[in-house]
Amino acid sequence: ALHRSIQATKISSPSTECIAPIGEELILRGLKKEIEADFYVAATRPAAVYRGNPFQVEVGIAYGKPGGVGLEVTDEGRIKKRKRADSKTAHEDLVANADEPCRVLRFANRVPLLYQQSACAVTKAVIQTNWRSYGLSQSRGALPVAPMVVLVHIASVWVPFTSESKEAIASYPEILKELKLGLQECGRKLGTHIRKGKRLKREFEKRNYIEKYIPHIGIALQEILDLTDRDRNKTVETLEDVLHRSRKF
């Protein structure tokens, strides 16, 4: 009876007012300041508890080399190459190449962790996340291969380090769970961006293929209908406008 009573008793969670997270806005601002990329996303998980200690996980991702897909859709429905914005403060070398594993930036209570990356729960959570479902390449038991930087911050009153040197975070199940959920939340938004970029590239190639034949159609119509050069050029412009307006993206 005593055992059943203990299990049925609801114990309130520890207060989370003592946690100082960075916040999604500041994470995005920091990523954009230090890393030049095509896509940024950040997520802050609700506070959780491990062994009676409250903690909170925050994740930020910067993906893609500057100018990656390099395409954008105008208000008129046309797809054109994007102009690369000049940035003097960003450091492009922080983003790995497309054939290299992603970079993982680990923070605990706003302090960077520089050593013992392979022994850290953050790295294990990144490896255990299925990045293939978000459009990235990943081998079994390895970091995803992509031009991407993953930033993970853990805020807690008692960060469970693996040793006194405070270089890696211990792999408690509760912490690993929150890390994976934060990575998956950002991964879903990243996957949407990657799929959209692929669709945009395919549509751009299709439109370019069709546009090659529009001038020839204009010449053929000129010969059939005995149009002037001015009417022919106007017809070509109309056909191009119809092409971009009719093929919705």
Average pLDDT over residues 174-198: 91
The pLDDT score that the predictor gives to residue 44 is 92
Please name the amino acid found at residue 188.
R
Please give the full DSSP string across 182-222, using - where no structure is assigned.
HHHHHHHHHHHHHHHHHHHHHHHHHHHHHHTTHHHHHHHHH
The pLDDT score that the predictor gives to residue 76 is 55
Q: φ and ψ at 28, to 5 degrees?
A: -65, -40
d(CA 67, CA 70): 5
Please give the full DSSP string across 79-126, using - where no structure is assigned.
EEEPPPPP-SS--GGGSPPTTSBPEEEEEETTEEE-S--TTSHHHHHH
Angle between helical axes of 121-128 and 173-211 (0-180°, round to 10): 50
**Residue 135: C-alpha distances to residues 23, 60, 149, 183, 196 (Å):** 27, 18, 15, 14, 11
Q: What is the per-residue pLDDT across 146-179, written as a single tens digit (0 to 9) for each?
A: 889 999 999 998 888 888 888 899 988 999 999 9
The pLDDT score that the predictor gives to residue 5 is 83
Domain ranges of the chain: 10-204, 212-246
Q: pTM of the full predicted structure?
A: 0.74
The pLDDT score that the predictor gives to residue 99 is 81
Domain 10-204, CATH number (from 2.60.130.10, 3.40.50.720, 3.40.309.10, 3.30.230.10): 3.30.230.10
Q: What is the per-residue pLDDT across 49-72, written as a single tens digit (0 to 9) for each?
A: 888 888 999 999 998 865 555 655
Q: What is the per-residue pLDDT across 21-52, written as a single tens digit (0 to 9) for each?
A: 898 999 999 998 888 888 899 999 988 888 88
